[in-house]
Structure 1
Amino acid sequence: MSETAAVTRQLLSAPLPQIIERLGVAVADAQHALDRNSIATAQAMATTEIELGSEKYNLIALGFTPTFYSFTEATVEAKLSFSMTESTELGVSAGATVGVNAGFVMVAASVNVSYARKFSVSAEGMSSIAARLVSLPPPEILENILRKMSEPQAPPTP
């Protein structure tokens, strides 16, 4: 088997299914971390109070809401370019010399043979992973709870 075929087979056996699986798991883990962060932000807003005038308000009561994020797409891209050359060179050269001197004939011959086989392989690869992240409003149920929390409470009637 030639070297060219062996290199081609190696380049074509890239673990594409594993790359796609790892991207999916990474996006799911990142989404989970984003959700945990938004929940922690909501809890911090509910417990952080500021004083305005003589009254204290938490950030939720003042209309602040946590920001939620979501991945809308994730792309994995791989580009690979390679070139291979295999060449064989064969060279033959011959020469003859004839000389005559005082009745003698002298003949000389030379033969030069060369053989060369050359292999050249060049490979370049590039990969990129891109993810698109967008801001979303809080879930509707959470938004309703936040709205109820921010409504002024009527004093209890005696």
Structure 2
Amino acid sequence: MSETVEVTRSLVSAPLPQIIEKLGISIAQAQAALDANSVKLAQEMSEVTVDIGGEARNLISLGFTPTFYAFTEATVEAKLSFSMNESTEVGVKVGASVSGGTGFVMVAASVDVSYARKFSVSAEGSSSIAARLVSLPPPDVFIELLRRQADKPVP
């Protein structure tokens, strides 16, 4: 099998399914971390009190809510470009010379044969991963629970 075929086979066998799987798992883990952060922020907002007119109120009761985020899109882009060249060169040079003098003749012949096989391979690759993150309002059930909790007096 020629070297060109071997190089082509190795360049084309990129682990695309594994890249996509890892991207999906990474986004799921990042989404869980974002959600946990928003819940933690809500807890902190319920603990922080502000004194307004002699009455202690937490940030939730004042209308503050944590921001939730969601990944809406993720893109994996991989570009691979390669070029291969295989060439064969054969050269033949033939020469002859005749010389002589009185009573003799001298003949000489020369043959020069060359053979060259050249391989050239170049490859370039680039990849990028992009994810789109948007803020979402907190879930309605969560807001309702926060409001009920906020209506309770702060000690």
Show the 5 A alignment for 1:51-66: 51-66=51-66
Structure-1 separation of matches of 2:117 and 2:37: 62
Please say if 1:37 is aligned against 2:30. no
In the alignment, what sits opposite 1:93?
93
**Which of structure 1's runs of 4+ aligned residues deviate more than 3 A?**
147-153
Contact 1:85 1:121 (C-alpha < 8 Å) held by counterparts: yes
Q: After superposition, where does 1:5-84 map in structure 2 within 5 Å?
A: 5-84=5-84
- Is the CA contact 2:50–2:56 (under 8 Å) kept in the aligned structure 1? yes
**1:148, 1:33 → 2: CA distance?**
26
How far is 1:93 from its partner? Answer: 0.3
Which range is displaced more, 143-152 or 94-103?
A: 143-152
Structure 1 residue 80, shift from structure 2 partner: 0.7
**1:28-52, Cα deviation, whole Å (9 max, x unpaired):** 1010000000000000100011223
- TM-superposed CA distance for 1:87, in Å, is 0.6
Structure 1 residue 152: Cα displacement: 8.8
How big is the shift at 1:19? 1.2
**Cα root mean square deviation, aligned:** 1.6
Which residue matches 2:102? 102
Q: What is the TM-score when the length of structure 2 is the normalising length?
A: 0.91
Contact 2:81 2:124 in 1 (8 A): yes
Q: How many residues align?
A: 153
Secondary structure (helix, strand or coil) at the match of 1:9 reads helix
Residues 46 and 150 in structure 2, CA contact (< 8 A), matched pair in contact too:
no
Task: For residue 56 of structure 1, report the CA deviation from its aligned partner.
Answer: 2.0
Q: Which residue of 2 aligns with 1:132?
A: 132
Contact in 2 for aligned 1:46/1:60 (Cα 8 Å):
yes
Paired residues of 2:97 and 2:107 also in contact (CA < 8 A): yes
Cα shift at 1:147: 3.3
CA contact (8 A) 1:86 1:119 kept: yes
Residue in 2 aligned with 1:141? Answer: 141
Deviation at 1:102, TM superposition (A): 2.6
Which consecutive residues of structure 2, in runs of 5 or more, have no partner in the other structure? Answer: none
Q: Which runs of 5+ in 1 are unaligned?
A: 154-158
2:71 partner letter: F
Deviation per CA, 1:52-78, whole angstroms, max 9, x where unpaired? 343322111111100000000111111
